A and B are shown apart, each in its own frame.
Chain A
């Protein structure tokens, strides 16, 4: 289990000078899982992107600690694996090439058999030399899981995890979820109740708050 901890305090994000969400706080350590729920447009994906350091918050802070050492925002990506509909693959490359090229850009270097293992885990090993442009949306989603999982990140972020997945794909996703729970943290942003119940904790984003309201984050326990 990675000694990992993520603390989020007073997070707010504005779009066009209006807050999408505000006063979001939570604290997770290794082995914990969190679901972020809320209707469309409530800012779930935005919140996830801020946690991943893809976006800056308008107020508040995200703090990631690994082995007791606080990780600067700039290096958050090293500990994050993410699957999301807005994360796109390189369609001109094959499944295997996507893995190898991204891997090299990350600075790691897995062996050929490790790549095959990854692809086998998401049932894509037979399509590894096929260009991603020819993939179905379900296959692309599975490949995204392989990419996110490749370096066994301490923090796994899933945005609408079961998008485009058939029952077999969903089983794979759940397996990864369980493994990651034993390894680090999972945060899921979702509309689907089936996905939300997989997690221990939940935060509900209730959409654009009226001016003057104290905040929108409510922590519900289970």
Chain B
């Protein structure tokens, strides 16, 4: 017996809506992300002042910010369920896969929103930030964010079952996302230097394969995390 596809989508959407409503109401992750953005941008602005910064540094710094923002905010979907005991309620209501995808969707959208805001603020606030190909820039931001959110979600599901989560999350995530980060930093740098929209085509291919690979692995593996 398998779940019908339209039922699956409806339930994934239901999980997504629950998480979204919960977040809008409690604002745990949103607050953490807001404070994080504010603090880090201030620190960076303070340290750079009016110095001109090479393009590669901008790209790298931006993605470091996005990575650490992801580390502050993306584990909450799973951790709150475990800590509050509501995970049992979910286990009595549905199977593993729609729960994972509902939360994945939530994390992807949360991180996309954060990346957009962070990038806009970053570009306004820091001197010497210029983008040659806006299309390329947006594509790399999008792909990098989706990849980062995907990896962060499955690792978040993993650590929700362990102790010492705070330090464990970046420690586990960093080796997993490093290939993604290196590739997307390169793609973003190219987007800032080269006006051709497809100059970073090789990098896009790598990013897309990464997204496919990590999502395929997550799909296969989540069931084992879910089952006790």
* Contact present for A90 and B94 (CB under 8 Å): no
* Contact present for A105 and B93 (CB under 8 Å): yes
* Contact present for B94 and A106 (CB under 8 Å): yes
* Contact present for A91 and B93 (CB under 8 Å): no
* Contact present for B91 and A91 (CB under 8 Å): no
* Contact present for B7 and A107 (CB under 8 Å): yes
> Residues 1-38 of chain B: 1 if any A CB is under 8 Å from the residue's CB, otherwise 0?
10000010011001101100110011000000000000
Q: How far is the CB of A108 from chain B (nearest CB, A)?
A: 10
* Contact present for B26 and A105 (CB under 8 Å): no
* Contact present for A105 and B11 (CB under 8 Å): yes
* Contact present for B228 and A54 (CB under 8 Å): yes
Most chain B C-beta atoms within 10 Å of own C-beta, residue among A55, A86, A92, A93: A92
Most chain A C-beta atoms within 10 Å of own C-beta, residue among B7, B15, B91: B91
Stretch at the interface among A30-38, A70-78, A115-123, A208-216: A70-78
* Contact present for B227 and A56 (CB under 8 Å): yes
For B57, the chain A residues whose CB sits under 8 A away are none
Interface of A is mostly: loop
| A88 interface neighbour in B14, B86, B91, B93, Cβ under 8 Å | B86
For A101, the chain B residues whose CB sits under 8 A away are 14, 17-18, 21
* Contact present for A107 and B11 (CB under 8 Å): yes
Alpha-carbon separation in the docked complex, A117 to B174 (Å):
51
For B228, the chain A residues whose CB sits under 8 A away are 54-56
Chain A residue at minimum C-beta to C-beta distance from B25: A92
Q: Which of B79-116 contact A (CB under 8 A)?
A: 84-86, 88-95, 98
A52 in the interface (beta carbon within 8 A): yes
| A74 interface neighbour in B84, B90, B95, Cβ under 8 Å | B95
Question: Can you spell out 12 A-B residue pairs with CB atoms less than 8 angstroms apart?
Answer: A75-B1, A77-B91, A87-B85, A87-B89, A88-B85, A90-B86, A93-B22, A101-B17, A105-B15, A106-B93, A106-B94, A107-B10
User: Known contacts A54-B228, A90-B86, A105-B18; can you find 17 more A-B pairs with CB under 8 A?
Assistant: A54-B88, A55-B228, A75-B95, A77-B91, A77-B92, A77-B95, A84-B88, A87-B88, A88-B85, A88-B88, A90-B18, A92-B22, A104-B11, A104-B17, A105-B15, A107-B10, A107-B11
